Structure 1
């Protein structure tokens, strides 16, 4: 059974560490009040409520609100929660919302996420969503997942939240073994995308430096995208020795609904390409990394400025603006299938996958003559510290991308960008020992 961690965090969510401080680089300041809300549909077992309360307490939430309403009423309840926080007027350290509902009803909670992201006192603060299935058909009842999380919080109070969710327990088996063959496939549309060639060169050089047997194909058509992925999988299946990791980078223009556009202008669904490799038998139990440098829609984000306390304004400059959809972590207790419509029947195919999008859903991914913000920053950060856990690296990359102000070709006002990172990894992933 695999669960999925997705989001746009810019620094580590160190919620379990009550000794964290504002001056500690790379960590959210969560010493302020912590707001928690549980929304559950009718009929959720009392034992699940008790388990969730224990998790909240282990993470430093002294109290929480619980509302029992049908799933259709979740948005209204979340709006009430947001209004109450804004009316309070004080900065909140972090917010945690647990959504417990029948299996299959919470796989696209973007509207709920946007509602909480618009909360003024939560700008720049982590917003965590726990999405827990319940009732018939759920592969994991909420209390089982929550009991495991509570136990880890108790034993490892100084771990970041993402680390708690990735590593089963301290020990030598918590890191993927990458000592065998590593393979990388880079598919990039160059024509009509100024700067894309620099991304291909930088990422290709990095992959080779990290020991990946690297294949690069430029200007593939939509059909060629599918054929190259199928051929890459076939090569892995027939590899003489064991394969320990695969990396695929897909770089192209994006359609209005997140499609990739081949060099011929035809569409291909990135989820179908990723699913092809996820089912590769030789990669079962091994990490599969997908990097997508493409637009996922046409929205442009002007960003928002976090609220600053008076003492903060006196000592520091006005806080910089951040993307309006940043600082969100979504935790699904069941992994999604590749379409995002619900949990997959073969959950083993959904584990050990790391997908990184250059933009949040519905938004533009930026690139100029020097390359894209995502790929160039990723290469820079990984070259500086290739032995660091990849999720930590990507969080740092996202922080840097979020701090940049960008100007698109059809816009004179500064805009913001934000990565979206989706992970069902079960261990630490370090690309260099």
Structure 2
């Protein structure tokens, strides 16, 4: 599902057309060509995966970066702290390390600090990486999230990794995990008998053209306009369920199927006070099956 606030970045795919004057000075990911008649940039990716391969190639030297932005404390008056964020952070760190990600945790950063970390990641050479993952654990509303000091638009995060801005990740999965409310509405759900007691809150080297917003996977904890829920001991429903599924099936299942089972887990949770419900939401422009597969140690 798309956010209602403005035009989504996924509606702005690069125009695919005839090209000329192809530049080959890009060592990996994508090279640019300029249509001299339309004056439009078109991405031509030097893919390590066959153009019509069913799965993303997940056997590079490194799995890739996993950036966890962990927000527990906020400067804004009236914005409550999020103690469950520390639980979510520990769970995500453990599971992502098990899946061979290089995990870095960025705690309670101001907006400019968040964007500095993102810019640093974009500037890196990801040629030997399978993918990248960014997790945001914070307060939010529809289309926006909080840094420690201010509210900012989510598009600023994933647009930074578009193929034109981060060519070494062109054609590779870019995964975003968003644990933040997307509104204030609450889902009352249906009456149930059992209640969980919780709290609120080969031709592989050939070049071909790709849209600059292809290969994105964004997993939201809830649908637009609705709030999310958490447990002070186990963390948020979404991150707890996601970590359970990744731990049990992260190497076997592809990510879209896995996120379906995460949605099932979250849908079966209930708040203890008014029996509120929650359902996750996934946005995907993946062009292949995304499966983490064997560990790096097993490849050697």
Q: TM-score, normalised by structure 2?
A: 0.69
Could you tell me which residue of structure 1 aligns to residue 66 of structure 2?
184
Deviation of the 1:426 alpha carbon: 1.1
Is 1:297 the counterpart of 2:160? The answer is: no
Give the counterpart of 1:175 among 55, 73, 86.
55
**Deviations along 1:9-62, whole A, 9 cap, x unmatched?**
xxxxxxxxxxxxxxxxxxxxxxxxxxxxxxxxxxxxxxxxxxxxxxxxxxxxxx
- The structural deviation recorded for 1:284 is 0.4
For the 8 Å contact 1:258–1:297, the answer to whether it is kept is no
Q: Please tell me whether Structure 1 or Structure 2 has the larger radius of gyration of its CA atoms.
A: 1
Task: Let me know the Cα RMSD of the aligned residues.
Answer: 2.7
Corresponding position of 2:228: 365
How much does 1:347 deviate?
6.3
What is the CA deviation profile of residues 125-161 of structure 1, one whole-angstrom value per residue up to 9, with x for unaligned ones? Answer: xxxxxxxxxxxxx98xxxxxxxxxxxxxxxxxxxxxx
> In proportion to residue count, which structure has more helix?
1
**Do the aligned residues in 1 keep the contact of 2:171 with 2:210 (CA within 8 Å)?**
no
Q: Which residue is equivalent to 2:103?
A: 214
Structure 2 distance, partners of 1:360, 1:272, is: 19
C-alpha distance in structure 1 between counterparts of 2:278 and 2:111, whole Å: 26
Task: Specify which of 289, 293, 297 is matched with residue 432 of structure 1.
Answer: 293
1:270 and 2:154 aligned: yes
Report deviation, 1:214: 1.2
Aligned residue among 228, 243, 250 for 2:129: 243
> Conserved in 2, the CA contact under 8 Å of 1:289 and 1:355?
yes
Q: 2:239 aligns with which of 364, 375, 383?
A: 375
Q: Matched residues in 2 for 1:286 and 1:380: separation?
A: 25
How big is the shift at 1:432?
2.3
Instruction: Flag structure 2 segments of 5+ consecutive residues without an equivalent.
Output: 9-14, 17-50, 74-80, 196-208, 295-300
Contact 1:252/1:261 (8 A) holds in 2: yes
Q: Secondary structure at the match of 2:226?
A: coil
What corresponds to 1:258 in structure 2? 143
Cα displacement (A) at 1:368: 2.5
Q: Is the 8 A contact 1:194 1:368 kept in 2?
A: no
Q: Which runs of 4+ in 1 moved over 3 A?
A: 318-321
Q: Classify the secondary structure of the residue corresponding to 1:228.
A: helix
Instruction: Report the CA distance between 1:226 and its aligned residue.
Output: 1.4
* TM-score, normalisation: structure 1: 0.49
CA contact (8 A) 1:284 1:348 kept: no
CA-CA distance at 1:278 after TM superposition: 2.4
Is 1:356 the counterpart of 2:219 in the alignment? yes
SS of residue paired to 1:297 = coil
Counterpart of 1:350 in 2: which secondary structure? coil
Runs of 5+ consecutive residues of structure 1 not aligned to the other structure: 1-5, 8-106, 109-137, 140-170, 306-317, 322-345
Aligned equivalent of 1:401, options 238, 263, 266: 266
1:224 match: secondary structure: helix
The Cα shift of 1:319 comes to 9.9
What's the CA shift for 1:243? 2.1
SS of the counterpart of 2:257?
A: helix
1:223 aligns with 112
Distance 2:214 2:194 in 1: 36
Paired with 1:284 and 1:258, the residues of 2 have a C-alpha distance of 24
